[in-house]
């Protein structure tokens, strides 16, 4: 199966989008010099720009993150969190498997291969603080501010 990569510059830094012929499979917080031709990457880049500009509130493209069944269950929950809203890791755990799974949920969110597209930035600490984001808390804060600005 062919993989296509595209490096893009964004307001949250350099990103690399990775897709196959059917779906977007990764969004990485790093630069790539590749700029493969792909209608799916064209769509993903356009929608990402629209999201950052506040023109769209959800993405409409096929996603296929690779992970365990538990991780996929957590990521599916993330997609259902409304634009501009936040939930706590404990609230997510309660919906997924119960309060004893808070750390497991946080670990699954940390492994999210499609951040921004699967909005793990919408999950916060029980005390309302910004905690745990693979790209750093400044990026998480920026994403939440974009959404709050365009509600």
Which candidate in 48, 120, 124, 143 is catalytic? Answer: 120
Tens of pLDDT, residues 79-108: 999 999 999 999 999 999 888 999 999 999
Distance (Å, rounded) from C-alpha 67 to C-alpha 96? 16
User: CB under 8 Å to 58, separation ≥6 — which residues?
Assistant: 83
pTM of the model: 0.95
Q: Could you give the number of structural domains in the chain?
A: 2
Tens of pLDDT, residues 10-56: 999 999 999 999 999 999 999 999 999 999 999 999 999 999 999 99
Same domain, 89 and 142: yes
Whether residue 27 lies in the annotated active site = no
Distance (Å, rounded) from C-alpha 104 to C-alpha 123? 14
Distance (Å, rounded) from C-alpha 36 to C-alpha 98? 42
Predicted confidence (pLDDT) at residue 1 exceeds the cutoff of 90: no
Q: 22 with 7: CB under 8 angstroms? A: no
Same domain, 93 and 32: no
Same domain, 131 and 84: yes
Residue for token pair 């997609």:
79
Sign, CA dihedral 9-12-14-20, equals: negative
Domain at 105, CATH number: 1.10.10.10
Domain at 28, CATH number: 3.30.160
Is residue 30 in some structural domain?
Answer: yes
């Amino acid at each position: 199966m062919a993989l296509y990569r595209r490096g893009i510059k964004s307001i949250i830094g350099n990103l690399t989008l990775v897709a196959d012929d059917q779906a977007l499979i990764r969004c990485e917080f790093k630069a790539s010099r590749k700029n493969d031709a792909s209608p799916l990457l064209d769509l993903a880049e356009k929608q990402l720009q629209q999201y950052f500009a506040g023109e769209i509130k959800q993405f409409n493209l096929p996603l296929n993150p690779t992970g365990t069944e538990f991780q996929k269950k957590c990521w599916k929950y993330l997609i259902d969190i409304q634009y501009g809203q936040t939930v706590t890791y404990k609230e997510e755990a309660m919906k997924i498997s119960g309060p004893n799974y808070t750390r497991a949920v946080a670990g699954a969110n940390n492994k999210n291969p499609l951040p921004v597209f699967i909005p793990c930035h919408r999950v916060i600490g029980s005390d309302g603080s910004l905690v745990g984001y693979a790209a750093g808390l400044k990026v998480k804060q920026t994403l939440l501010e974009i959404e709050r600005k365009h509600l």
